[in-house]
């Protein structure tokens, strides 16, 4: 197990870090900095990962599965973003045994557990899942203290942790995956061109990378105080009610709002209720969560990866009412056969494409499923503007009933 090599330790640049935390465009500033450090494109994925790493300080951190083919850049992206955070809060592993977390001596509480390839952590899936759900691990472990003599020892590991894992598999254990946001690496040709351009810059001598600027970002993270977040408009939020998995997607959406408010705490008001001081989330925090969710959640709810979505759309455009083969898809998409097989399989699993015929020595023929036509996913969420209208309507309604204002209720 090794902590990330974050470069030489410098004196914390507090003034610059405080100024950074007061910038309304903080996340856009992060995107600009990430490009200078070689992490190009995929802005939605990068913002989600940055918020997930930040959420390690909260009671219920965000966890993320990053999926993509080998060489898609998914691990490089996660590693680059991790450099924006204090090394002491990172635990970067290639893998672990089933009970390794139980015997880890250093505290895990409020750390990021970063696994570079899921296959290396399969044995520890149950422990990771429990740590995500319960925020702690409690195990009875049998230990041999003498020949033929055993004792049971209680092992307690305190969380919570933010769990980030990359994988080239299309599907992980369902119980683990539905506790995470799943994002997909951009495997488009345009993204490949952007990556090539970034790779060439280092050999041109035209753009020196200032590694010390990452110290400002690490310091900013250390300046974030672990305060709870109040979302005063939480009861006004609308969210899809099916399929069943949205019962877990909904709290993840709320966690995005919470983490945005937590990150921008130097720009937010605080409210004291009882003995507790809360950071008050604003509509800007909802906007951040909304913009991320509309790009990420439809594919998860539909259970259709972006590459499979492109495949189904090409099939719809080229073969309404007719059957088609993998060779047809290769021609339409300009993908290699292995990639086509992988993502047509995902489309069949999701039910939008079905096998029309198959047999020994003849190509399998597919057709669009008429009973489950595919439409590009649209997440039915209130827009930030619609939410603002509902907040204003409630404010005006309460003003017309002043007797309800005398009980110390919090107004958004």
pLDDT mean across residues, the chain: 85
155-175, pLDDT tens digit by residue? 888 889 999 988 887 666 656
Cα gap 323→284, rounded to integer Å: 47
Cα pseudo-dihedral 286, 128, 66, 228, rounded to 10: 20
β-pairing, 362-368 vs 276-280, is: unpaired
State the residue for tokens 């918020």: 51
Is residue 343 within 8 A of residue 308, CB to CB? The reply is: yes
Q: Compute how many other C-beta atoms are within 10 angstroms of the C-beta atom of residue 88.
A: 13
The number of C-alpha atoms within 13 Å of 85 and in the hemisphere containing its C-beta is 29
Print burial letters for 259-284: b (CB count within 10 Å at least 16), e (below 16): bbbbbbbbebeeeeeeeeebbbbbbb
Residues of the chain whose pLDDT is less than 50? 1-11, 410-412
Structural tokens at position 42: 């995929």
Per-residue pLDDT, 201: 79
Instruction: Report the chain's terminal Cα–Cα distance, integer Å.
Output: 46
Is residue 45 within 8 A of residue 293, CB to CB? The reply is: no
State the residue for tokens 């970067």: 92
Cα gap 352→346, rounded to integer Å: 9
β-pairing, 161-167 vs 181-184, is: unpaired
Q: Which CATH architecture has domain 14-223?
A: 3-Layer(aba) Sandwich (3.40)
Structural tokens at position 304: 């259709």
Is residue 119 within 8 A of residue 140, CB to CB? The reply is: no
Q: Compute how many other C-beta atoms are within 10 angstroms of the C-beta atom of residue 371.
A: 8
Question: Would 14-223 and 306-368 be classified into the same CATH topology?
Answer: no
Cα gap 125→96, rounded to integer Å: 10
State the residue for tokens 């909304």: 290
Secondary structure string (H, E, C) spanning 201-255: HCCCCCCCCCCCHHHHHHHHHHHCCCCCEECCCHHHCCCCCCCCCHHHHHHHHHH
Total number of residues shown for the chain: 412
Per-residue pLDDT, 133: 80
Q: Compute how many other C-beta atoms are within 10 angstroms of the C-beta atom of residue 139.
A: 16
Ordered by start, the domain boundaries in the chain are 14-223, 229-302+380-407, 306-368
Q: Which is nearest to 262 in space by CA: 81, 50, 39? A: 50
371-409, pLDDT tens digit by residue? 887 776 566 788 999 999 999 999 888 887 765 555 555
Using a cut of 0.85, tell me whether the model's pTM lies above it.
no
Cα pseudo-dihedral 395, 399, 404, 407, rounded to 10: 80
Q: Which is nearest to 164 in space by CA: 51, 251, 260? A: 51
Is residue 163 within 8 A of residue 125, CB to CB? The reply is: no
DSSP-derived secondary structure letter, 38 = T
At the topology level, CATH places domain 306-368 in Arc Repressor Mutant, subunit A (1.10.10)
Cα gap 120→376, rounded to integer Å: 34
Distant-in-sequence, close-in-space partners of 212: CB < 8 Å, separation ≥ 6: 10
Per-residue pLDDT, 385: 95
Q: Which is nearest to 137 in space by CA: 97, 113, 103, 174? A: 103
Is residue 162 within 8 A of residue 55, CB to CB? The reply is: yes
Q: How far is CA 329 from CA 2, 312, 316, 339, 350, in A?
A: 44, 10, 11, 10, 18
Cα gap 34→81, rounded to integer Å: 7
Tell me if residue 92 falls in helix, strand or coil.
Answer: strand
Q: Which is nearest to 45 in space by CA: 194, 179, 183? A: 183
């Amino acid at each position: 197990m090794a902590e990330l090599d974050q470069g030489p330790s410098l004196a914390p640049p507090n003034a610059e870090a405080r100024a950074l935390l007061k910038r309304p465009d903080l996340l856009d500033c992060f995107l600009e900095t990430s490009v200078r450090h070689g992490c190009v494109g995929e802005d939605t994925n990068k913002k989600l990962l940055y918020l997930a790493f930040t959420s390690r300080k909260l009671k219920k951190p965000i966890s993320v599965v990053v999926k993509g083919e080998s060489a898609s850049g998914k691990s490089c992206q996660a590693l680059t973003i991790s450099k924006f955070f204090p090394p002491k809060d990172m635990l970067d592993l290639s893998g672990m045994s089933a009970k390794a977390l139980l015997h880890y001596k250093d505290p895990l509480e409020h750390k990021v557990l970063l696994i570079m390839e899921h296959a290396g952590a399969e044995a520890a899936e149950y422990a990771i899942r429990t740590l995500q759900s319960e925020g702690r691990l409690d195990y009875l472990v049998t230990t041999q203290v003498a020949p033929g003599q055993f004792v049971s020892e209680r092992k307690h590991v305190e969380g919570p942790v933010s769990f980030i894992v990359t994988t080239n598999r299309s599907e992980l254990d369902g119980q683990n995956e539905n506790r995470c946001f799943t994002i997909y690496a951009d495997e488009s040709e345009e993204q490949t061109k952007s990556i090539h351009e970034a790779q060439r810059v280092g050999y041109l001598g035209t753009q020196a990378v200032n590694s010390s600027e990452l110290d400002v970002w690490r310091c900013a993270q250390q300046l974030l105080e672990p305060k709870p977040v109040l979302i005063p408009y939480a009861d006004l939020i609308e969210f899809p009610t099916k399929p069943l998995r949205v019962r877990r997607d909904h709290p993840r959406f709320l966690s995005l709002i919470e983490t945005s408010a937590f990150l921008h705490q130097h720009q937010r008001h605080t409210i004291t209720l009882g003995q507790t001081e809360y950071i008050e989330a604003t509509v800007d925090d909802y906007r951040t969560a909304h913009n991320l969710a509309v790009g990420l959640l439809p594919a998860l709810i539909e259970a259709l990866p972006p590459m499979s979505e492109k495949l189904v759309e090409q099939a719809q455009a080229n073969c309404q009412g007719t059957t088609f083969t993998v060779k047809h898809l290769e021609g339409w998409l300009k993908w290699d056969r292995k990639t086509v097989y992988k993502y047509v399989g995902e489309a069949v699993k999701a039910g939008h494409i079905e096998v029309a015929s198959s047999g020994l020595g003849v190509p399998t023929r597919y057709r669009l499923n008429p009973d489950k036509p595919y439409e590009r996913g649209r997440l039915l969420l209130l827009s930030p503007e619609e939410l603002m209208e509902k907040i204003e309507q409630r404010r005006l309604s309460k003003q017309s009933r002043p007797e309800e204002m005398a009980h110390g209720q919090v107004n958004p």
